Structure 1
Amino acid sequence: MQRRHFLSLLGAPAGAAALATLGGCGFELRQGYAMAFRTLQLTGFTANSPLATELARALEASGVQVTESTLQAVRAASSVMVPSSHIELNALTDKRETLVSAKTAFGQVRTITARTTLRFQVKRSDGSILIPASDVVLARDLSYNERDALAKQDESAALNRALQNDIVGQVMRRLAAIRPDQLVAPAEPALPRSSVSAASGATR
């Protein structure tokens, strides 16, 4: 999937509706974040994930190239080696749910809960873990009336988009906190000389 395709998945109507609901969940529109990395690969997301699409949009607004693969990152860097400025955001869970949270005494639905869950980790270009598995779970309640089912369905969709954009904001802030020196895996600590000597003696 090329990055243009990433962005085209969102579509103009959905994008406009998402922008209209950002303020409700505390996500503020920004020109972009200053990122220490240059390329990023999104993996593990569900097919046609709206969350992946919105993340790609936010990343490219911050000057980060979203690549389809590690090979594409290598080509973007014009090098045979994967650059240290490349990272991978791996989604371990990418889920949106609409749950019944309250009913009347007659069994009619009174309240539904929209919940969006993202569990992710971030890897360096060498595959080592940069950000360990982290959870972002957001939920909002919505009153429900069967007589206004269609209107409530639209309201639920708008609420899900707002939750999605709030999650994108949280992930972007986590990524912006990555320092350049963290992009290279820390070197393994050298063994003390006495330990090396003892290990050598044990193999004789």
Structure 2
Amino acid sequence: MQRRHLLKTCAVVAAGGAAAVLSGCGFELRKEPEYHFKTLALKGFIPHSPLSQELRRQVQRSTLKLLEDPNRADVVLEIEREVRDKTSVATTTAGQITEWQLRLQLDYSLRTAGGEVLLPRTELRLTRDMNYSESAALAKEQEEASLQKAMQVEAVGLLLRRLAAVRLPA
């Protein structure tokens, strides 16, 4: 009984010590980005693109207002290229694929409604490797969809953090 009480006390002290160390090092959870503009327009997305839908969803959670008319927005995000592909990385001697590489490529630029370039053409590339087995094809199909979704969410997060770093010219 005393041993259990001693272990419990040690665990509480250790947790308190860890909290004190983390608070002293400047650790802070990531916050929503703060933008230096109020309105954003999206241009060049493929109609009903999963990436544009995720971007719209994330922007609605933020302080930004999404406008359809690029001429009225403070900032216009122009997508020049959005490509998803899948390449075989490893095969067996019989020619069966054992590993895929999933890729998401996004080229974009940022400008004001007046045409002033805020960010020149920027390339965003994400890749994920995925093992594959014919015997688990259905499960691997679901894993691929999950990895594609994760890359999409990560790409939008990176894009929004880059937008937060942009300042409008005075």
Distance 2:105 2:155 in 1: 9
| SS at structure 2 position matched to 1:36 | coil
The alignment status of 1:128 with 2:109, answered yes or no, reads: no
Aligned to 1:36: 36
Which of these residues, 59, 71, 94, is aligned with residue 106 of structure 1?
A: 94
1:138-184 residue CA offsets vs partner (Å, 9 max, x unmatched): 101100001111110000010011111111111111100112xx345
TM-score of the aligned structures, taking structure 2 as reference length: 0.78
Give the counterpart letter for 1:173 in structure 2: R
What is the CA-CA distance between 1:64 and the residue it aligns to?
0.8
Higher RCO (CA < 8 A, seq sep 6+): 1
* Amino acid in structure 1 at the alignment position of 2:52: A
What SS class does the counterpart of residue 70 from structure 1 fall into?
Answer: coil
- Provide the secondary structure at the position in 1 that maps to 2:113: coil
How far is 1:98 from its partner? 1.7
- Deviation of residue 60 (structure 1)? 2.0
**Counterparts in 2 of 1:89-104, with a 5 A limit?**
89-104=77-92
Match of 1:142 in 2: 130
Give structure 1 stretches of 5+ with no counterpart: 1-28, 74-81, 185-204
Q: Which has the higher strand share?
A: 2
Q: Is the 8 A contact 2:42 2:70 kept in 1?
A: no
**1:58 alignment partner AA:** Q
Once the two structures are TM-superposed, the CA of residue 31 in structure 1 deviates from its matched residue by 5.9
Size of the alignment, in residue pairs? 142
In structure 2, runs of 5+ residues without a counterpart are 1-28
Identity within the alignment, %: 35
**C-alpha RMSD of matched pairs (Å):** 1.7
Runs of 4+ in 1 over 6 A off after TM superposition: none
2:15 corresponds to which residue?
Answer: none
User: How far does residue 87 in structure 1 lie from its aligned partner after superposition?
Assistant: 0.6
What is the match of residue 165 of structure 2? Answer: 177
Shift of 1:30: 6.1
Structure 1 contact 31–61 (Cα < 8 Å) conserved = no
User: Corresponding residue for 1:45?
Assistant: 45
> For the residues of structure 1 that align with 2:147 and 2:138, how far apart are their CA atoms?
14
Is the CA contact 2:103–2:128 (under 8 Å) kept in the aligned structure 1?
yes
